Structure formats: structure tokens, C-alpha cells
Amino acid sequence: YSSKRFFCDLMKPRLIGKIAAERAAARLSPKKIDSFNGPAVFEPRVASSFLSHLISSISGHNLARKVSFINGDIGEILFEENINVIDDPLIKKGLGSRNFDSEGVICEKLELIKKGRLNEIILDCYSSRMLNKKSNGRCGGTTNCYFENGKLTKKDLIKDIQKGVYITELFGSGFNSVTGDFSKGSSGFLIENGEVTYPISEITVAGNIKNMFREIKLANDLEFRSRINSPTIRINNISIAGK
């Protein structure tokens, strides 16, 4: 699908249909695989779900109620040093762009994660009072939130993987915000000797998301398709359960 702020910017229906048909054809006759621990590469469409879990975990409401696996301490190390997460309400034509939030507080660009460390949390007037802080104009949630691009291409992320998976679908809501435990049904393709090979299905990817955050590596293929966006990501050590 295509989602834009202005009708004239939408992808042409014929192109959307072509992409959908190619994706469906590539997924025909999937195979089951044995369980193993190894690297997983997540395409941007599903990689953004990790960013959604981060946003939930650094929400002022969840931190105040102590239902987050993150302490919420500014400077807390969550990712590798080269990872940055931005929430920018002023992106031209951005789906989440706005000048002020639902409480009338001015929105400004936030560096939520700066060089791998927690730099800001998501605050509205209510949660900021509970935490004795100041609202940063996020009543109603984030605006245009994204992982900054990495330096590697998608091909670079994959080329040294002897055996792994390329995930194109995630199913279910298997995330515990208190413990950080993550377990979701998924499907995609097997990676062998640095190449994406045949389609696979009926697998589960699992781990603790705090550990997974520390192992995230980013490609340089970020595109703004929704309010929460991510380039392709790789997580080196994840539990992949098959048949």
C-alpha cells in the first residue's frame, strides 16, 4: 500500500499491484526449517515494529507506572554507539508532522536515542507531572519517528551470513513490556552463504528485546512510508524456532 499526506504523492496503483504480485509470487510454496540460533534480517516494513516497542517502553506513562523494562534514566545505554533515533514533527509532508500536540504544547525535534544512549522520553502534561519533568509536546504519541540510516547496504548486512533468516512478516503481539521478552510468529526467506534463497513459514523468532537492541545493525535504505520508519535491520543472535 501507499500512504502519503497529499494525494498527488501516492504511489501509482499499477506499481502497487506489481509489487504486491511479485511479493506474493516469491512467497509461493514455502518450506519449514529446523530450529536454530542465528542472525535475522528484518525488512523495513517489519523492522519498524522494534521502534514501536522502543517508543512504548520510553513512554512517560509506562515509565511512571513502572511497566517498562527500561529504567528511563537519561544516558542509559540501549544500543550500539552508532544508533540514533529521531522524532521530527517538522518533516515536510510527513504523515505525523504537526506544530503542536493534542494539549497545545509546541512540538520540537527530539533525539530520543543519541549515540546509543537514551536522550529523551515521550512526555505529555500528565506524565511529565508524574515524573516531575516538562512536557515535550508528545500528547498523542510520537510524530515522525525513525532510526537514522546506517552505513551499510542491505546486501552488506546479508553477505556474510552463512545461515540465517530474512523476515518479511511478523504475527501476533508477543511482547512483554515489563520483562522485554519478545516472541512472534514470522515468515520470510532462508539466508544461506550470503544469499536469500527459498521462502519459509511457520517459524517463531524470540529473544529479550533489550539484548536484541544491543545487537541491531542498520542498513542505509530508510524510506518514510508511515509515522514510524526504519531501514533494514540485522540482529545477530536470535532464537529461530521451526519444526
71-87 residue pLDDT tens: 888 999 999 999 999 99
Portion of the chain with pLDDT greater than 90, in percent: 94
Q: Where are the beta strands (DSSP E) in the chain?
A: 36-42, 85-87, 110-114, 117-118, 145-147, 163-171, 181-192, 195-208, 216-218, 228-229, 233-241
- At 3, list the grid cell: 500512504
The pLDDT of residue 1 is 86
Looking at residue 57, its amino acid is S
CA distances from 195 to 19, 158, 164 (A): 21, 7, 10
Rounded average pLDDT over 189-193: 96
Q: Where are the beta strands (DSSP E) in 23-109?
A: 36-42, 85-87
Residue 161, SS3 per DSSP: coil
Rounded average pLDDT over 217-238: 96
The pLDDT of residue 139 is 96
99-146 per-position pLDDT tens digit = 999 999 999 999 999 999 999 999 999 999 999 999 999 999 999 999
- CB of 187 closer than 8 Å to CB of 33: no
- Read off the pLDDT band of 202 (50, 70, 90): very high
Portion of the chain with pLDDT greater than 70, in percent: 100
d(CA 127, CA 177): 18
18-48 per-position pLDDT tens digit = 999 999 999 999 999 999 999 999 999 999 9
- Read off the pLDDT band of 172 (50, 70, 90): confident
Q: Tell the residue number behind the cell numbers 534463497, with chain if given.
A: 197
CA atoms within 13 Å, Cβ hemisphere of 17: 3
205-227 per-position pLDDT tens digit = 999 999 999 999 999 999 999 99
In sequence order, what are the residues at sequence separation of 6 or more whose Cβ sits closer than 8 angstroms to the Cβ of residue 86?
109, 110, 111, 112, 145, 146, 148
pTM: 0.92
| Cα 159 to the center of its chain, rounded Å | 22
CA distances from 81 to 5, 71, 77, 183, 210 (A): 33, 19, 9, 26, 15
Domain residue spans in the chain?
A: 30-47+151-241
CA distances from 80 to 29, 77, 83 (A): 38, 8, 6
CA distances from 155 to 32, 151, 161, 181, 212 (A): 24, 12, 10, 29, 21
